[in-house]
C-alpha cells in the first residue's frame, strides 16, 4: 500500500457500504477491493436479506463488482468485519495480497489464518464498526445467528 493512502481512508468506503446495507434493512457489513495505489476496483455489502441470497457477503459482493483480473496479489480487500471462512477462502483462492479489517470484536473470523498464510492483515478495531455491529446484533439476534451460521439455530427452523 502506498503511504499516501491510509487503511482508515480505505475503510471509509467499506463503512459507507455497510451503512447502505443497513438502510436497505440488511446486515451492516461492507467491503471494497482496491488496487495497491488505492484505486477502487469494486465495492459491495452483505445482501442476504435484500436478495434472499446467503452467499452474497460483503467481500464476495465487492469481489464480483471488481470483475475479472489477471492477478490479485497486489489488491487489498477491505471489510468492516473480520472475514468469515467463506470470505477468507475467497482471499486465499484468488491470492488477494492484503486484507484490512474494520473490527474483529463482535466476530472473530479467519483473519489470523490468513495472516499465517502470508496475507498482509491489518485489524483496525475501529470504534464505529464495533458500535454498528454491536447495535445490529443486539437488535437482530436471530438474523445475526442465521448469518454467521450457528448450526443449531438453523436446524431449529
Ligand atoms: Zn463472509
* CA dist., res. 155 & res. 56, Å (int): 21
pLDDT at 149 over 90: no
Per-residue confidence band for 154, with pLDDT thresholds at 50, 70 and 90: very low
Of the candidates 59, 103, 153, 155, the residue annotated as catalytic is 59
Helix axes of 85-94 and 58-65: crossing angle, nearest 10 degrees: 30
Answer with the residue of higher pLDDT: 94 or 156: 94
Asked about 59 being catalytic, the answer comes back as yes
**Is residue 14 a contact partner of residue 43, using CB atoms and an 8 Å limit?**
yes
pTM above 0.75, yes or no: yes
**Is residue 67 a contact partner of residue 42, using CB atoms and an 8 Å limit?**
yes
Residues 14-23: pLDDT tens digits?
A: 999 999 999 9
Residues 57-85: pLDDT tens digits?
A: 999 999 999 999 999 999 999 999 999 99
- The neighbourhood of ligand 1, an ion, using CB within 5 A, equals 57, 84, 86-87
> What is the bridge-based pairing of β-strands 40-45 and 76-81?
unpaired
Cell numbers at 50, concatenated:
435484500
Output the pLDDT for position 4: 59
Distance 92 CA to ligand 1 centre (A): 13
Buried b / exposed e across 44-57, counting CB within 10 Å, b at 16+? Answer: bbbbbbeeeeeebb
Distance 40 CA to ligand 1 centre (A): 20
Amino acid at each position: 500500500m502506498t503511504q499516501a493512502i491510509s487503511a482508515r481512508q480505505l475503510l471509509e468506503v467499506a463503512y459507507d457500504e455497510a451503512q447502505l446495507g443497513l438502510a436497505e434493512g440488511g446486515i451492516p457489513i461492507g467491503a471494497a477491493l482496491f488496487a495497491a495505489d488505492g484505486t477502487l476496483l469494486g465495492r459491495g455489502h452483505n445482501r442476504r436479506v435484500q436478495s434472499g441470497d446467503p452467499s452474497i457477503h460483503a467481500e464476495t459482493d465487492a469481489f464480483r463488482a471488481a470483475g475479472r483480473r489477471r492477478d490479485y496479489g497486489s489488491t487489498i480487500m477491505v471489510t468492516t468485519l473480520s472475514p468469515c471462512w467463506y470470505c477468507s477462502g475467497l482471499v486465499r483462492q484468488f491470492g488477494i495480497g492484503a486484507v484490512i479489517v474494520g473490527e474483529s470484536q463482535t466476530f472473530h473470523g479467519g483473519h489470523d489464518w490468513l495472516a499465517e498464510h502470508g496475507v498482509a492483515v491489518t485489524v483496525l478495531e475501529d470504534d464505529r464498526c464495533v458500535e454498528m455491529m454491536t447495535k445490529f446484533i443486539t437488535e437482530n439476534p436471530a438474523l445475526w445467528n442465521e448469518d454467521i451460521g450457528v448450526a443449531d439455530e438453523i436446524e431449529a427452523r
